[in-house]
Amino acid sequence: MTPENDAAARYFSAITAALSGLEVFMRDDRSPLYRHGIVARIVAEYIARLDKSFACWRNRLGFMDTFRISRADSGYPVFQNLLELENDRQQADARLANIPQAGELREEMADFILRHKEFPEALQKSMAERLYLEDVKSEATFGPFTLAQTAKVSVNPKTMRPYYLVHWATFDGSANLPLVYMVTVEDSSDSMVRQLVDVNGKLNEKVDIPLPVDGLLNPELAHRFDDFTEKNSAYTLSPATIAVNLDKDFEPLHPKQLRRVVLGPFYSAGITDNNSTVAEVLSKVRKPENAWLLTWTIQEVFSKAEKPGRKGLFSSEKTTQEFFINTDDLEAARQGVSSYENHALIPHEAYQALYAAGEAQKIFSGYKVHILSNGQVISDV
């Protein structure tokens, strides 16, 4: 195995272990994040998509020589890899038609070995490409942008408006980071209020809503909402800016809470150099598959009040939200959020190495640390 292939194998082993551990954490009812219920489940679904993408990229290395990651920043693959994955998905059927079936390839490989007494590299590459294309045809990978879904519908008894929990995701091409968004938004559209709210101010049980619903539940606004999310999901935009833009651009929509989950950066010994101290200590971890650290941040902005709109003969103003920014916390003010949480997931062996080196307290200052040990996640360490 070449040094490049060895490094790639270590990287894929590390990121796969990290994402698997993070998914365990999100789905564990003992997890401190599980109190958010549906939030953790939604994030877990996107983590599973990321995991699928990495499985595809790993297969792709079987017939392609290059795979670039953002070593100095996020520790994730560069954006070009996602574009190539998306392009390969669209061409998968046409390319598969020109590659023999897996059974035929195995027979040819066995015959080649018997006749030539050497390994059939060309056939192996064809097999790797077939496996890759069959995998990439699935819609379950993490793409450059994933359209919104409505995951929950209810009614605010105070305003008598239906409200939706809507989520979407993007892979930011500048920061090379996966971002997951969730917004709780009330809808004052006359048609949706009539359809979804009964006389008692509760969700109309006669309306069958097969959740999750692709897009925003309101069909009149769904296409515009998709356009909005695609243009307003950059990492450089603060959650407050996105919430204000949403409030401004849609008269009948009233965003009450917006969350952004930033899945990274990721640190891997001998691969990433985005933190020299972390890299130095992780390089001393005995098992390479345990020499990693995954961080993520949950940002939240919420409406503290609603300013009523007014309608006049010559001018009118729409109802607007007053979003709370915690100016008492300099970091919250810098991020443009009401609150935020920094989390870190690390294998037990790697945490021991950081602790023994006297670096754990400095590195994890301001983080909630979760340790992966024997397939379980231990929090509050």
Domain positions in the chain: 37-138, 150-379
User: Is beta strand 161-172 parallel, antiparallel or unpaired with respect to 253-262?
Assistant: unpaired
In this predicted structure, the answer to whether residue 139 has a pLDDT above a threshold of 80 is no
Question: Largest Cα–Cα distance in the chain?
Answer: 89
Instruction: Work out the mean pLDDT of the chain and round it to a whole number.
Output: 91
Cα–Cα dist 197/206, whole Å: 10
Write the pLDDT tens digit of every residue in 23-79.
888 877 666 565 667 888 899 999 999 999 999 999 898 888 778 899 888 999 999
Reply yes or no: is the peptide bond before residue 212 cis, omega within 30 of 0. yes
Q: Is the pLDDT of residue 2 over 60?
A: no
How many Cα atoms are found within 13 Å in the side-chain-facing hemisphere of 264?
A: 27
Q: How far apart are CA 288 and CA 282, in angstroms?
A: 9
**DSSP state letters, 185-201:** EEE--HHHHHHHB-TTS
Q: How confident is the model at residue 320 (pLDDT cuts 50, 70, 90)?
A: very high
Residues 6+ apart with CB under 8 A from 249: 224, 228
pLDDT in tens, 78-128: 999 999 999 999 999 999 999 999 999 999 999 888 898 888 889 989 998
Residue 155 tokens, joined: 């009614």
pLDDT average, residue stretch 363-379 = 89
Q: What is the pLDDT of residues 211-266, one digit of tens each?
A: 999 999 999 999 999 999 999 999 999 999 999 999 999 999 999 999 999 999 99
Rounded Cα distance, 190 and 173, in Å: 39
Provide the residue type at 283 as one letter. S
- Asked which of 58-72, 312-326, 360-374 is least confident by mean pLDDT, the reply is 312-326
